[in-house]
A and B are shown apart, each in its own frame.
Chain A
């Protein structure tokens, strides 16, 4: 499972301090999510597009990551903008309120995903965890993130092994009771195994003297370019906030 395909590159966004990127991402996505009106949404979309261009992310990956968002948006377009009793075909008419809502959702969602791709996906996950720890996010929470991420990989591999073992014994999913029961067993097995594993991991940590502290070895180097970037992100945030306030 490769969740970090975009994390390695040489563009400026890749080289910025993850703390600067995390701060910018939180500010900009919040301003985008909360702002009202088309101007703020289009501005945010523009920023997102500029961001991924700046980070020189490969098109193929972008399409792959935007597809689920827009699949969801397409469903919204099927349901939201219509109302009964209009002059159009099938007796359906356009509902201006629904139309705005569907536009809102589509543009905002794309803008936010693009921003996150440019700012967050360009760092390996463990740098993001470290940025959180540097900000004095409680140790327990940081641990939780790390373990979740670490064992997501183990679980995924375990799932893969189990399902291969099932296939090796001629299992092919159908729509019948046997199939559902087999999947239920697979799921149950994963749960039991992850519980057992959690216990052993904890024991292994105790053996190494663990008492609840998350140690930081990596120290990021905050440079001039991070100051400049953060100043720029601050201006972008103010622009979005101003546009958002004008629209509401």
Chain B
């Protein structure tokens, strides 16, 4: 089954030239896609479109079983697809790590105890046990990256969209990230400039250039 499908997408930022033009993208269950492409090619923009954070000028977005058009359609999508932003500082906003990780589950209607439990378990799974009361703005770059991954994993999504998750990570942290990903059952699409990382974690590589995706 297709979890996410973009067809014939055209998109331009206000007063900008078209960034995506005739883009097709499909992510099926069990897919692990790596996305490469030059800076400014529109990779991040493609993920924003998939999450319904910006709307295309043309084309269709199917996600989790049906076409998604309006804001209300995307609420469900955001519960099932976890999106990790390129800059972890954009993602973390709550005072403490525990609160930030519990924020998603609480929004999904989980009770306090359950949300706290999910958050603690997720942190532990990422090797972040003991970080619960740390203040998010005092974390190091790599820690912020892992915590922002935890905030997304805590929502128990079916799919992950990761935007350059390895930038700024040291080798050990990157290895941990790879291990976490490969130990999960999730489908994902990952944007990265690190070809080695993509080859180790993905089953198929795509390249975004000239507003379209092509298989590599």
Contacts and interface: CB of A to CB of B under 8 A. Distances in A.
Contacts of A166: none
A200 interface: yes
A126 B90 contact: no
Contacts of A124: 95, 135
Contact of A207 (B83, B94, B108, B116): B83
Nearest to B132: A217
B96 interface: yes
A204 B155 contact: no
Given A150-B137, A207-B78, A209-B78, A217 B115 contact: yes
Contacts of A183: none
Chain A residues touching B, majority SS? helix
A147 B137 CA distance: 11
B69 interface: no
Query: What size tier do the contact residues of chain A reach?
Result: 20 to 34
Interface string B89-116: 1110111101100111011100010011
A189 B35 CA distance: 31
B104 A217 contact: no
Chain B residues touching A, majority SS? helix
A145 B91 CA distance: 18
B102 A200 contact: no
A203 B48 contact: yes
B93 A147 contact: yes
A154 B104 contact: no
Contacts of A154: 89, 137
A129 B94 CA distance: 11
A218 B94 CA distance: 12
A208 B90 contact: no
Contacts of B89: 154, 197
A197 B102 contact: no
Contact of A126 (B91, B95, B107): B95
A26 interface: no
Most buried by A among B87, B93, B94, B115: B93
B27 interface: no
B93 A211 contact: no
A205 to B, nearest CB: 7
B104 A208 contact: yes
A70 B113 CA distance: 49
B53 interface: yes
B4 interface: no
Contact of B53 (A125, A126, A203, A217): A203
Interface in A154-205: 154, 197, 200-201, 203-205
Nearest to B100: A208
A217 B79 contact: no
List the 7 shortest-distance A-B pairs measured between CB atoms, nearest first.
A126-B95, A209-B107, A208-B104, A200-B90, A215-B106, A153-B137, A203-B53
Given A205-B103, A209-B75, 14 more contacts: A124-B95, A146-B95, A147-B93, A154-B137, A201-B90, A201-B93, A203-B51, A207-B82, A208-B78, A208-B107, A208-B155, A213-B107, A215-B103, A215-B106
21 contacts: A124-B135, A126-B95, A126-B96, A146-B94, A146-B95, A147-B93, A150-B95, A200-B87, A205-B93, A205-B103, A206-B51, A206-B53, A207-B83, A208-B78, A209-B104, A209-B108, A211-B107, A215-B102, A215-B106, A217-B99, A218-B96
